[in-house]
Structure 1
């Protein structure tokens, strides 16, 4: 349907979108039917019976990381601030390597279902509960943001109430996650990843065609200073530099992938470590490709609107609406394109939300309910409890969407909130795996101190951004090519922007949000090590070797073997002729 020269969501778009939701629901029903006779219902629900194949798990890992926040936020980031954030793909290769070499071998060796079981084995039950609590907090902060993103896009292209569509998408997600468990989540993720790639590629190709060529896209962005990859400014308060994006974001990705229950759970669903490492490599390639496509789409959008900025002219309210707006502009060329695009964004959201719901249910049952039971619960009852948990958490997440509207740009808000929990979690796991002398008192103190410290910085920074106390320099835009009616709406914007920022916020609030994970990580390590030293270090025992990462494990084994050999040498009597010690 066309109105005022602009295409709107029509019946074909609705069919494409409804088809995606319908397929997701059908997969959930099918997987629930298929696994109804499983011997171990809990293992089936949480790790798919540990016999999943490489393809669906790889696609699920990609889909879980690339949420709608990335699909909408990355193009907006390129448009408003330039391409420096595109450098995050450099960190991805190192994250995958670190995950495969350092963290996963420990989880596989212990044969655990919840990654937080490790914290009890290495420290104590209280540490495990704190780790689980931090993870649940992370997901409760993150999932509402993930839900808000596709609802915002849908609202932009259809005008349908944002909260109503958020409730609908959550209901579908809760339905298939509750019924089918991990297998339903993983297989719907695989389908949704294909839809995501399809939507992003089509938009990038059509957008480039509209501008004229890749060379023209690049030239228009280069002329306005948007092409920037090697800003080597060491100042930590600069929002994006090469150092903050590559080194700062490296640890954020590492925390998201290596010790996060949602990711570990998928890797543990593989039959062996070798296949799990293969899926991680595929994940790295997939994420790099999808992130690069999304970033490229951002510079395509700017090239298309280089002389008539839709933000300045109030055609859209927020930068996060740029991609949906651009899709509607392109939709005259291909019938059903808005439906495909919205399906892609919703696919990203559904995959991330379903992963979060499934892993949160597993953590609540394995770490909080199961240890409190006087006698083992039957698999059937345990499975029912986890399904009820999924429904309750889903409803809470929908309610929390109301808070998300108050946050700033999607990428910064998402990374800022994840930084609150990513640093403490990675810090505690790393402390346990690398430091044989760290004890439970140190781990608990490090986790809590880190969590409180980073939360204070993150919420303070978000408040400063929301009230206009912090303003980030943006790249130039133009309205020279706009119709006269649109240009007349932007008369006094420059004066408003210049007079809005007067007061300087607290220095730590000005630190780039990409350093939050490092702050949390180092705080947990330093405080944990100091408290462990003050309260009496943990004593290493050879039977605990599996609790340490392979590098440390080998060093400890050599040290212990040398110590044992030295003791035997001391106990052995001298030889008869006295010339040597045997």
Structure 2
């Protein structure tokens, strides 16, 4: 590997490809703003696209929202360093889609709401709604800076330009089209960016496979180093990735991300009816499985290419998350414009996730926080302007938070760990409301807060233990035997991988060693159990027949029995005090 390859920067074709992607995204925002300028319902147009969107763009937007730059860069790095066990994450996908279609979406559609947190107000009270909104905002403010950092890291690897110089440029473009065009601009730019993202991954995957010598050679080199692992059935919850942690643990994390998260629900509610929304969810599931599988395979391709000269050990790159851009530059000479296409794909994934977050956060802040405080809410134009200003302010805050991201561990683990802080409590609160008629507002509030604090303590404590070196994870073997001599000089300080080897001789606290994929389950169960206990000691909520639409269709038959039993009991009590007689049969 020659130094000129590693240090190569964009050429003119790369710049044209990259600038074209940013330019098209900005133009979509301008076009959608112009197109919807005379819409009488500006708020609904801005938040749910007038609720007349079609299946294709919404499906592409959902895929783009889930597959951020974290997945594009982090999943190949995961395969390279830890092996293929995480690939099993595609298994829960169909179950999550089915759960959304059967359990959660019917409730939101019947209520015809624009913010999923409006549900918490209808089912509990405004305090619970506000708490849910704040938890969502915390989640997005933790996640979006990580999403911004990822493409900047790749851009730095490919071009040498400092990541904190490119970050504001990305964010300004994203804020621009999100502010102007609202949901429709976000959805249509997501569609374009999803196509670019798929194109970039496919090209790198195919060219890399050809360079290594074919799919069989890629698989063989991974098998020799024990990277192929799908069914590690060890039940130990402290093992980072097993079949159980990836499939069962990630199921709930994914469910929380898709089913009650405003960013996802908002897109589903943009569909004209529930049937089309369910079709959209099915298309999203297929798309996510496809892109994740391609990213996983690309990780194996990268290892096969560097199986005799590991660029991390030899200090050619600083982090495993830089493996994919480094590999792209290795194969770029034979394909003009490939670096530009690759960077456009990674930036597309990041822009789509960020724009989704900004649009949904602006809606939540206005609908759940600002509007209830106003004695006389502004008209549609005034409300739309408030949300646009909110987008700008949140975007600027996210840029500032990027500086903290560099201190985190691997992208996949950091992203899932941070999202797990809020995912479990939120899903627990919504599940309390939809499945347990006797849960009251006090139970939902206390359960949510206790769950949030408990999981935050575990997650942040784990990240601190990892960053200080008290926790290490077992990685797969690498080799430097065929590296040039100038690179081998950097390997003298490298040690073989160790696991949970604490210098002080004392293992970290048990919960800190728990796999990060169980965080959502912990938060979910704590929120429900504490919520039910507090509801019991403070006086359970009384079910009313007219509130049936607030509960998931899964329990409607049980509600009918509860209603009948309650009505009979009331009639008996009334008859005994002589105020009414039994109805004639």
Q: What TM-score, normalized to structure 1?
A: 0.96
Contact 1:144 1:400 (C-alpha < 8 Å) held by counterparts: yes
Assess, with a 3 A threshold, how the Cα gap between structure 1 residues 4 and 356 changes in structure 2: closer, same or farther: closer
Cα deviations across residues 191-232 of structure 1 (Å, max 9, x unaligned)?
Answer: 000001000011110000001010110000000000000000
Match of 2:356? 355
SS in 2 for 1:248: helix
Cα deviations across residues 161-206 of structure 1 (Å, max 9, x unaligned)?
Answer: 1011011000000000000000000000000000010000111100
Contact 2:155 2:343 (C-alpha < 8 Å) held by counterparts: yes
Match of 2:87? 86
Match of 1:472? 473
Assess, with a 3 A threshold, how the Cα gap between structure 1 residues 571 and 127 changes in structure 2: closer, same or farther: closer
Match of 1:34? 35
Aligned CA-pair RMSD:
1.8
Contact 1:103 1:549 (C-alpha < 8 Å) held by counterparts: yes
SS in 1 for 2:100: helix
Match of 2:581? none
Query: What's the offset of the Cα at 1:500?
Result: 7.7
In 2, Cα distance between the equivalents of 1:495 and 1:554?
A: 59
Query: What's the offset of the Cα at 1:506?
Result: 1.2
Give unmatched runs, 5+ long, in structure 2.
Answer: 576-583
Does 2:559 match 1:550? no
In 2, Cα distance between the equivalents of 1:484 and 1:497?
A: 26
Contact 1:7 1:331 (C-alpha < 8 Å) held by counterparts: no
Structural mapping, 1:206-221, within 5 Å: 206-221=207-222
Does 2:515 match 1:512? yes
Query: What's the offset of the Cα at 1:554?
Result: 2.6
Match of 2:446? 445
Contact 2:472 2:501 (C-alpha < 8 Å) held by counterparts: no
SS in 2 for 1:407: coil
In 1, Cα distance between the equivalents of 2:118 and 2:5?
A: 59
Query: What's the offset of the Cα at 1:501?
Result: 3.9
Assess, with a 3 A threshold, how the Cα gap between structure 1 residues 208 and 279 changes in structure 2: closer, same or farther: same
Contact 1:438 1:537 (C-alpha < 8 Å) held by counterparts: yes
Does 2:290 match 1:286? no
Match of 1:12? 13
Cα deviations across residues 51-98 of structure 1 (Å, max 9, x unaligned)?
Answer: 000000000000000000000000000000000000000011100000
Contact 1:173 1:350 (C-alpha < 8 Å) held by counterparts: yes
Equivalent of 2:540 in 523, 534, 537: 537
Query: What's the offset of the Cα at 1:564?
Result: 4.4
Match of 2:175? 174
Assess, with a 3 A threshold, how the Cα gap between structure 1 residues 129 and 305 changes in structure 2: closer, same or farther: same
Cα deviations across residues 31-55 of structure 1 (Å, max 9, x unaligned)?
Answer: 0000000010000000000000000
Contact 1:7 1:332 (C-alpha < 8 Å) held by counterparts: no
Assess, with a 3 A threshold, how the Cα gap between structure 1 residues 4 and 286 changes in structure 2: closer, same or farther: closer
Query: What's the offset of the Cα at 1:507?
Result: 1.2
In 2, Cα distance between the equivalents of 1:458 and 1:88?
A: 21
Contact 2:65 2:356 (C-alpha < 8 Å) held by counterparts: yes
Contact 2:471 2:501 (C-alpha < 8 Å) held by counterparts: no
Assess, with a 3 A threshold, how the Cα gap between structure 1 residues 225 and 178 changes in structure 2: closer, same or farther: same
Match of 2:229? 228
Assess, with a 3 A threshold, how the Cα gap between structure 1 residues 438 and 5 changes in structure 2: closer, same or farther: closer
Query: What's the offset of the Cα at 1:502?
Result: 1.6
In 2, Cα distance between the equivalents of 1:527 and 1:477?
A: 47
Structural mapping, 1:1-150, within 5 Å: 3=4, 7-150=8-151
Contact 1:13 1:336 (C-alpha < 8 Å) held by counterparts: yes
Does 2:368 match 1:367? yes
In 1, Cα distance between the equivalents of 2:570 and 2:392?
A: 59
Cα deviations across residues 418-471 of structure 1 (Å, max 9, x unaligned)?
Answer: 000000000000010000000000000000000000000000000000000000
Contact 2:201 2:295 (C-alpha < 8 Å) held by counterparts: yes
SS in 1 for 2:381: helix
Query: What's the offset of the Cα at 1:551?
Result: 1.4
In 2, Cα distance between the equivalents of 1:212 and 1:248?
A: 36
Match of 2:252? 251
Contact 1:357 1:390 (C-alpha < 8 Å) held by counterparts: yes
Give unmatched runs, 5+ long, in structure 1.
Answer: 573-580
Match of 1:320? 321
